[in-house]
Amino acid sequence: MLVKGTLDDLGIKISDQNLVALHANDDEKESGFSPCFYFGEEEEDWTKKSHIPYQNIIWCEPVTNDSHLKVVQVTYLYSHRRDEKVKPLKLQVEIDSPMGLETTGELTNEILSKAYTNKLIKPSLLILINPFGGQGHALRIYHQEIEPILKASNAKVTLFETQYSGHAIDIARELLIEDYDVIVCCSGDGIPYEVINGFYQRKDYGIDAFNKVAITQLPCGSGNALSLSTHGTTNASLATFKMLKAERAKLDLMAVTQGIGSEEKTILSFLSQCYGIIADSDIGTEHLRWMGSVRFEIGVIQRIMQGSKYPCDLYIDYQTRTKDEISKHFQKFTKVNNKDTEPTNIENFKLKYPKLDQPPPSNWIKLEESKSDQLNIVYVGKMPYISSDTQFFPAALPNDGNMDLIMTDSNTSLLDTTKFLLNIDKGSHVLHEKVDHFKIRGYRLVPRLKRTRNHYISIDGENFPIEPFQVEVLPGIMTGLLQNGMFVDTCFTDLDDSI
């Protein structure tokens, strides 16, 4: 069906037509068809208007070869309220175009430029799918929810299925980076970790790769922290739409070093490092993965009830010492332009702290033993979300040169511990007086466990040996995709004035 429309500042206004009446069939009427959804600063009820926002448009092309016939086919997204999935829809529109747009080609380019303010039109995407991710559902999620939107947007797609653990490292290390704009990890958090470290294993530490190719995630696994923190959803179709509209931005990574001399090894971490109850409850219950997230919760409760302690020596390079300072730091950062895409250089990759066989810097502060002997959680992160119901680092920022350190100890009462755990989903656990929360630039942790069997260090969800390790921030070395240059909103966005 051909309809008439005009361009305005926000999109295409359809003349004398109702989009619901145009497109909704009986099934869609039953499901609650929503022809236009809008992710702007001021949401309005677009379903009551015959209006297609530019933000929802993912493709536009001429219908005929007649350059003076202003008829275009617009592909935009709508949602089914029944299942909340986002799906593409096509509509032919005869545009009463404004002055200056004399041909259909000019009109098409105008619409696409306003639809893609990030200038990533028809991006070249390398899709990496872990077929075993999401309890084996990753391929189904990709083909049913992600692929239709990518095809409708005319993205250039190359698809790889990973075949073994570490396969994405090999792919990223040998990748012809000139061929791609974005690596899209259709997986849990394991594939982004591998891609990042595959880049780091390139001859130039991945400098050219990190500058040229953005790394992102679409939620197809059991852990989707990168997608949650940057796209704000575990809905694969909605995350795909947000990815297409997101802007390139620089993200900090963390360099984690273990070993001495010839045994020294440094890897890159994008998400977190963990020592204590949370690491043991995650890595230590891998054999119960079939149980879903409840396996982790059972592990945490069991260890808390047992009064588990994880003594260590902990040396910290503090950026903040109080929660009020964290609030001020967060407010300051969110008021500046974080869309910096200045190219990374070799200086950004240089480790600046002493090696593990040398003392830590003199300005680092050692946590007092009365505290470090009783620790049960040491958790350091760079992204706000760890899972869909775990907003563990609500003050995390994409490129402020800092990590968030959260600690608790076994002296905390069971009642206080329960209050803390019940607020993790909202992120307000960091406000609890028994929870230590700091912004830090680096740290060194030396475990002092009497027995290491059945204990773990978790780095981005991967198992690492119970050995001393040191972490520092590598500022802005990774190119990612963000909404308006920031991580998604957390409770800290609303609470920062009251912390």
Domain edge (last residue) among 48, 81, 115:
115
Q: Which of 189, 400, 404, 496 is catalytic?
A: 189
304 domain residue, yes or no: yes
In the chain, what's the furthest Cα-to-Cα distance?
80
215-229 residue pLDDT tens: 999 999 888 999 999
483 domain residue, yes or no: no
- My answer on whether 142 and 102 are in the same domain is no
481 domain residue, yes or no: no
User: Is residue 324 predicted with pLDDT exceeding 60?
Assistant: yes
- Whichever domain contains 421, its CATH number is 2.60.200.40
50-87 residue pLDDT tens: 889 999 999 999 998 877 778 999 999 988 665 578 89
Give the position of tokens 């979300």. 385
Whether residue 189 lies in the annotated active site: yes
- Taking residue 145's Cβ as centre, other Cβ atoms within 10 Å add up to 23
Instruction: Give the gyration radius of the chain's Cα atoms.
Output: 24
User: Is residue 135 predicted with pLDDT exceeding 50?
Assistant: yes
Round the average pLDDT of the chain to a whole number and report it. Answer: 88
429-439 residue pLDDT tens: 999 999 999 99
d(CA 419, CA 432): 8
Is the separation of the CB atoms in 161 and 107 below 8 Å?
no
Output the DSSP codes for 52-114: EEGGGEEEEEESSS-TTS-EEEEEEEEEETTT--EEEEEEEEEEEPPTT--SHHHHHHHHHHH
Least confident of 36-45, 164-173, 192-201: 36-45
pLDDT band at 308 (very low <50, low <70, confident <90, very high): confident
Tokens of 351: 């480790």
- My answer on whether 104 and 164 are in the same domain is no
The pLDDT value recorded for residue 26 is 39
d(CA 146, CA 428): 33
270 domain residue, yes or no: yes
- My answer on whether 96 and 129 are in the same domain is no
- My answer on whether 223 and 277 are in the same domain is no
d(CA 403, CA 383): 9
d(CA 275, CA 411): 17
- Say which residue, 296 or 106, is predicted with more confidence: 106
- My answer on whether 158 and 274 are in the same domain is no
- My answer on whether 271 and 403 are in the same domain is yes
429 domain residue, yes or no: yes
CA 274-279-282 angle, to 5 degrees, is 135
Give phi and psi for 449, each to the nearest 5: -75, 140
- My answer on whether 107 and 239 are in the same domain is no
Q: Counting Cβ atoms within 10 Å, is residue 193 exposed (0-12), middle (13-18) or buried (19+)?
A: buried
The pLDDT value recorded for residue 43 is 46
Domain edge (last residue) among 89, 115, 141:
115
Q: Give the sign of the dihedral formed by CA 16, CA 19, CA 20, CA 21.
A: positive
Characterize the bridge pairing of strands 2-7 and 11-14: antiparallel
479 domain residue, yes or no: no
- Whichever domain contains 196, its CATH number is 3.40.50.10330
478 domain residue, yes or no: no
Residue 441: closest CA among 364, 334, 326? 364
The pLDDT value recorded for residue 302 is 72
Q: Which of 93-97, 136-140, 318-322 has the highest mean pLDDT?
A: 318-322
The pLDDT value recorded for residue 305 is 74
User: Is residue 34 predicted with pLDDT exceeding 90?
Assistant: no
345-356 residue pLDDT tens: 999 999 999 999
pLDDT band at 374 (very low <50, low <70, confident <90, very high): very high
d(CA 25, CA 13): 22
- My answer on whether 74 and 155 are in the same domain is no
User: Is residue 455 predicted with pLDDT exceeding 90?
Assistant: yes
Tokens of 426: 């909202």
Query: Number of C-alpha atoms within 13 angstroms, CB side, residue 211?
Result: 12
- My answer on whether 205 and 339 are in the same domain is no
d(CA 196, CA 183): 10
Q: Domain total for the chain?
A: 3
The pLDDT value recorded for residue 47 is 44
The pLDDT value recorded for residue 23 is 57
The pLDDT value recorded for residue 290 is 41
The pLDDT value recorded for residue 286 is 55
Residue 222: closest CA among 166, 126, 286? 286
In which order are the strands placed within the sheet that holds 182-187? Answer: 156-161, 124-129, 182-187, 214-219
Secondary structure class of 331 (helix, strand, coil): helix
pLDDT band at 401 (very low <50, low <70, confident <90, very high): very high
143-187 residue pLDDT tens: 999 999 999 999 999 999 999 999 999 999 999 999 999 999 999
Q: In terms of pTM, does the model score above 0.75?
A: yes
Least confident of 255-259, 323-327, 364-368: 323-327
- My answer on whether 370 and 391 are in the same domain is yes
Domain edge (last residue) among 219, 245, 271:
245
User: Is residue 467 predicted with pLDDT exceeding 60?
Assistant: yes
- My answer on whether 128 and 111 are in the same domain is no
Domain span holding position 428: 253-472+490-495
- What one-character DSSP code corresponds to residue 390? B
482 domain residue, yes or no: no
- My answer on whether 459 and 395 are in the same domain is yes
